[in-house]
Amino acid sequence: MTELLRVLGIDPGLAATGFGVVDGDGRAATVVTLGAIRTRAKDARAQRLAQISEFIGALIEEHRPQELAIEQQFVAHNVRSAFAIGEVRSAAMVAAATRGVDVFEYAPTAVKEAVTGYGAAPKEQVRHMVMVHLGLSEEPSPLDASDALAIALTRLAELPAEAALARTARVRGGAASADE
Amino acid sequence: MTELLRVLGIDPGLAATGFGVVDGDGRAATVVTLGAIRTRAKDARAQRLAQISEFIGALIEEHRPQELAIEQQFVAHNVRSAFAIGEVRSAAMVAAATRGVDVFEYAPTAVKEAVTGYGAAPKEQVRHMVMVHLGLSEEPSPLDASDALAIALTRLAELPAEAALARTARVRGGAASADE
Q: Please, which pLDDT band fits residue A37 given cuts at 50, 70 and 90?
A: very high
Task: Write out the residues of chain B at the interface with chain A, using a CB-CB cutoff of 8 A.
Answer: 44-47, 49-50, 53-54, 73, 75, 79, 82-83, 86-91, 93-94, 96-98, 103, 105
User: Distance from first CA to last CA of chain B, Å, rounded?
Assistant: 29
Q: How far is CA A163 from CA A15, A68, A179, in A?
A: 38, 19, 18
User: Which residue numbers in chain B have pLDDT < 70?
Assistant: 1-2, 75-77, 173-180
Alpha-carbon gap, residue A158 to A38, rounded angstroms:
30
pTM for the model: 0.85
Output the pLDDT for position B169.
Answer: 78
> Is the complex ipTM more than 0.85?
no
Output the pLDDT for position A69.
Answer: 98
Q: What residue ranges define each of the domains in chain A, with the CATH number in brackets?
A: 5-171 (3.30.420.10)
DSSP state of A172: T
Q: What is the pLDDT of residues A136-170, one digit of tens each?
A: 998 888 889 999 999 999 999 999 888 888 888 77
To the nearest whole percent, how much of chain A has pLDDT over 90? 73
Output the pLDDT for position A178.
Answer: 46
Output the pLDDT for position B37.
Answer: 97
Output the pLDDT for position A77.
Answer: 65
Positive or negative, the CA dihedral A160, A62, A55, A135 is positive
Query: What is the chain B residue with the closest CA to A102?
Result: B46
Q: What number of C-beta contacts closer than 8 Å exist between A and B? A: 82
Of residues A141 and A46, the one with the higher pLDDT is A46
Output the pLDDT for position A76.
Answer: 63
